[in-house]
Chain A
Amino acid sequence: MSAHHSLLDVPREHLTPWIVVAVGLHVTGALTLWALAQLDLQPRRPLIAPEETIEVALVSLPKSALPQKASRRPVPQAPPRDQAPAVEPPPRQSDLAVPSKEPDPAPKTPPADPRKMQQYLDELDKMDELLEELDAPEGKVDRDAASPEGIEGAPALGTTGAMSSDPELAAYVARISRIFLENFRPIPAVKGKGYSARVLVQVDREGRVVDRRIQASSGNEFWDRAALSATEAVVSLPLPPERFRDGRADDFVIRFEDP
């Protein structure tokens, strides 16, 4: 009698539990891989991509004129075309486009004034800082914008219902809302049509914005671009009130609405 037994020698009823476990593990593994594939695990895009820096250099940008705090002005990226089909673009007159005439005459305008450009960029920075570090006064809202009450009185829409009635959190939400409002500048032709886009903004535990993407398109590419651009102009957000901090990274859904 041999001391070696093959699996073929094991009675079938003894193998069945092992077969079930093996099949179960395979199915679990396959499902896990499938689930991971559904999550967007693409590497996060840097705030200023190297190739974009190179493009700027190609136009002979005066080095001294470059913003010192480059991270405060990330280069906006247009959303992918297939993400936001154009429903109602502004009036176009491309049919009336002028015929091509190249090359253009030699430039006659003086070179950029680095001091003035820096001054303008500094002013933009200053506005951001005011908004981020202070409880900034309400910005000048255009004629089509919501009433100030629409912002001040906006309910805190945290994902937990209890937050909505917390005045401290409501103030925090209103403050964040103003930061994005200041940077939301859609083409006027698409205003007044009720568009609404949702942009997911991810921040790290210190409030630095690490990613942003369109979560729900408005259906209008111009509205979506403006919404995404508004989030790209913001590089950090104030931390939530102490009671609501949990020391972890946070996600914000910014809902850009046409009142």
Chain B
Amino acid sequence: MRPLFLVLASLLALPAWAARFEIPVQGSRELTLAIAAPVMPRGDPDQKAALLRDTVEKDLAMTGYFEMVPLDAHIERGMGVEPGSFPFDPWRMLRTAALVKLRVLPAGDTSCDPAGQRMCLDVFIYDVLGQEKLAGKRLRGTPAEVLSIAHQAADEVLLALVGLRGFFGDVLAAVQDRTGNKEIWLVGIDGARAQAVTRNGSINLSPAWSPDHGTLAWTSYRRGNADVYAKDLGTGAVRTVSASPGVDTAASFSPDGSLVAVARSEQGDTDIFLLDARTGRTIRRLTQGGGIDVSPHFSPDGTQIVFASERSGGSQIYVVDVAGGTPRRVTNLRGFFTDPVWSPDGGAIAFVSRDGRFDIMTIRPDGTGVNRLTQDQGDNEDPSWSPDGRYLVFTSTRKGGRRIWLSTANGRHQVALTDDAGWSQPVWSR
């Protein structure tokens, strides 16, 4: 039996695949995404197709999840948008991993809205490697709403490929000084759709959204003194929130909308006060003496307020309980730190470091985990978190003028949102 045993043993000892090297690949690159030129109805001007496609591409490029395959490199053009109506190989050749196809149906089209005035945009999202459709959606709107429809299309792509709610239709409130005054404006996350909230020819600063995003509070010198006002964006009604003899500034709504924190100066010192958001009545004075306390911002659970204070000499970041008590210092770093804003999940506070240049940093509320988001790229100020906490908007002078920029929360991907300058203090709504 020995020969048989030896044969068996030698067969079993043969390795199936004896790899000499095992290589770990930890991490990945951005998904290569191609957005094909939209299929348009006959007679439609090509500019609309370009506008549509460019909007979707710009939206998705700002997220940092994708690497775009440039349009002029596309091989397959003008074929169908539905499964089976075009080949995948030309896209594979360009190493495209995901493909978006768009088709416009004009108002009056029998399969879209035959009786109405609305156009349709069909969005098809494909996995090129798997050669299958991941999602498809028909979006409707009037021809005048083409940009809004394009943003919705980008939202659909982000949901299908990343699994996240799109934010391309979101709105920022910000200060714009192009006219020589400082006025509050609303501007789309794409840097377009700008519209004025104030036109009082004065100095208007520090916009703040109410939790339901129906009301915007801000600081204005419209009556010669810095006071806090609030505007109902639905009715246009403006009311005074805080108007003490001193300076009232930098409002922050509590998460339930019932309270407003402001920085108020009394007898030469500036402290943090808690007010009733509806009546403006003072509920509590949270800080006293010890230097200037400014820029209050509620924690997402509404139990604490972060603010900047000069009580220790240079400006540092502190946290105080809404119920009162001794403020706790968060930053124990050498430098001058201002404008703290608490992240929506409560895990981080973004702030500005003023050390020669202005830069955006984040820190955990317990004072650990300091992370620098900007460096050697002009002055970077005014951070504000996205509702999901994955991004921040801020202003930067890195390309001349003060523009609004977007950054991922870790700072790795940053992109300008506005082409024009003169912006400051953007705050993110939805």
How big is chain A's contact interface, by range? 35 or more
Chain B residues with Cβ below 8 Å from A61 are 75, 90
Contact call A253/B87, Cβ cutoff below 8 A: no
Least CB distance, B111 to chain A, in whole angstroms = 5
Contact call B78/A108, Cβ cutoff below 8 A: yes
A188 to B33 CA separation, bound complex (whole angstroms):
12
A173 to B3 CA separation, bound complex (whole angstroms):
42
- Is residue B105 within 8 Å, beta carbon to beta carbon, of the partner chain? yes
- Is residue B284 within 8 Å, beta carbon to beta carbon, of the partner chain? no
Contact call B27/A31, Cβ cutoff below 8 A: no
A191 to B31 CA separation, bound complex (whole angstroms):
11
Contact call A101/B27, Cβ cutoff below 8 A: no
A182's partner among B29, B42, B49, B72 (CB-CB below 8 A) is B29
Interface string of B155-174 (1 = CB under 8 A from A): 01001111100000000000
- Is residue A207 within 8 Å, beta carbon to beta carbon, of the partner chain? no
A142 to B98 CA separation, bound complex (whole angstroms):
17
Contact call B122/A59, Cβ cutoff below 8 A: no
Contact call B20/A100, Cβ cutoff below 8 A: no
Contact A181/B27 with A28-B4, A101-B111, A188-B162 known, Cβ cut-off 8 Å: yes
B90's partner among A56, A150, A157 (CB-CB below 8 A) is A56
Least CB distance, B224 to chain A, in whole angstroms = 47
- Is residue B410 within 8 Å, beta carbon to beta carbon, of the partner chain? yes
Chain B: residues with Cβ within 8 Å of the partner, total of 82
Interface string of B53-83 (1 = CB under 8 A from A): 0000000000011010110111111111110
- Is residue A112 within 8 Å, beta carbon to beta carbon, of the partner chain? yes
* Beta-carbon nearest neighbor of B128 in chain A: A76
* Beta-carbon nearest neighbor of B86 in chain A: A59
Interface string of A99-131 (1 = CB under 8 A from B): 111111111111111001101110010000000
Contact A59/B87 with A75-B92, A101-B111 known, Cβ cut-off 8 Å: yes
Binds A, one of B131-139, B184-192, B334-342, B373-381: B131-139
Contact call A185/B75, Cβ cutoff below 8 A: no
* Beta-carbon nearest neighbor of A91 in chain B: B163
Least CB distance, B98 to chain A, in whole angstroms = 7
Interface string of A186-222 (1 = CB under 8 A from B): 1111010000000010000000000000010000011
* 22-55 of chain B: CB within 8 A of chain A: 22-32, 37, 39-42, 44, 46, 49
A109 to B76 CA separation, bound complex (whole angstroms):
10
B25's partner among A160, A200, A225, A256 (CB-CB below 8 A) is A256
A35's partner among B4, B11, B137 (CB-CB below 8 A) is B11
Least CB distance, B31 to chain A, in whole angstroms = 5
Chain B residues with Cβ below 8 Å from A52 are 89
Contact A142/B64 with A108-B78, A113-B72 known, Cβ cut-off 8 Å: yes
Contact call A259/B26, Cβ cutoff below 8 A: yes
Contact A111/B28 with A120-B70, A226-B97 known, Cβ cut-off 8 Å: no
Chain A residues with Cβ below 8 Å from B89 are 52, 55-56, 59, 75
Contact call A116/B73, Cβ cutoff below 8 A: yes
- Is residue B94 within 8 Å, beta carbon to beta carbon, of the partner chain? yes
- Is residue A96 within 8 Å, beta carbon to beta carbon, of the partner chain? yes
- Is residue B267 within 8 Å, beta carbon to beta carbon, of the partner chain? no
- Is residue B356 within 8 Å, beta carbon to beta carbon, of the partner chain? no
A182 to B32 CA separation, bound complex (whole angstroms):
11
Least CB distance, A156 to chain B, in whole angstroms = 8
Chain A residues with Cβ below 8 Å from B137 are 93, 96-98
Contact call B98/A176, Cβ cutoff below 8 A: no
B73's partner among A31, A108, A117, A230 (CB-CB below 8 A) is A117
Contact call A93/B19, Cβ cutoff below 8 A: no
Contact call A200/B19, Cβ cutoff below 8 A: yes
* Beta-carbon nearest neighbor of A174 in chain B: B23
Contact A104/B49 with A121-B94, A185-B32 known, Cβ cut-off 8 Å: no
Least CB distance, A181 to chain B, in whole angstroms = 5
Contact call A145/B80, Cβ cutoff below 8 A: no
Contact call A187/B8, Cβ cutoff below 8 A: no
* Beta-carbon nearest neighbor of B77 in chain A: A109
A254's partner among B3, B23, B130 (CB-CB below 8 A) is B23
Chain A residues with Cβ below 8 Å from B223 are none
- Is residue A133 within 8 Å, beta carbon to beta carbon, of the partner chain? no
- Is residue B18 within 8 Å, beta carbon to beta carbon, of the partner chain? yes
A91 to B44 CA separation, bound complex (whole angstroms):
33
Contact call A180/B46, Cβ cutoff below 8 A: no
A176 to B410 CA separation, bound complex (whole angstroms):
27
A116 to B220 CA separation, bound complex (whole angstroms):
52
A156 to B124 CA separation, bound complex (whole angstroms):
43
Interface string of A134-162 (1 = CB under 8 A from B): 00000111111110001100111111100
Contact call B93/A159, Cβ cutoff below 8 A: no
A-B pairs with lowest CB-CB distance, top 4: A107-B78, A145-B27, A120-B73, A116-B72
26 A-B pairs, CB-CB below 8 angstroms? A28-B3, A31-B11, A56-B90, A59-B90, A78-B130, A92-B134, A92-B160, A94-B135, A98-B136, A101-B82, A104-B39, A110-B77, A112-B73, A116-B72, A141-B412, A142-B29, A158-B22, A173-B23, A184-B27, A188-B65, A225-B129, A230-B25, A251-B20, A251-B21, A252-B23, A256-B25
Question: What residues make up the interface of A, taking CB atoms closer than 8 Å to B?
Answer: 24, 27-28, 31-32, 35, 39, 52, 55-56, 58-59, 61, 65, 67, 73, 75-76, 78, 90-94, 96-113, 116-117, 119-121, 124, 139-146, 150-151, 154-160, 173, 176-177, 180-189, 191, 200, 215, 221-222, 225-226, 229-230, 233, 240, 250-257, 259
Question: What residues make up the interface of B, taking CB atoms closer than 8 Å to A?
Answer: 3-4, 7-8, 11, 14, 16-32, 37, 39-42, 44, 46, 49, 64-65, 67, 69-70, 72-82, 85, 87, 89-90, 92-95, 97-98, 103, 105, 111, 122, 124, 127, 129-131, 133-138, 156, 159-163, 408, 410, 412-413
**Besides the contacts A91-B159, A97-B136, what 7 more A-B pairs have beta carbons closer than 8 Å?**
A32-B7, A96-B138, A104-B81, A143-B413, A151-B26, A157-B24, A256-B25
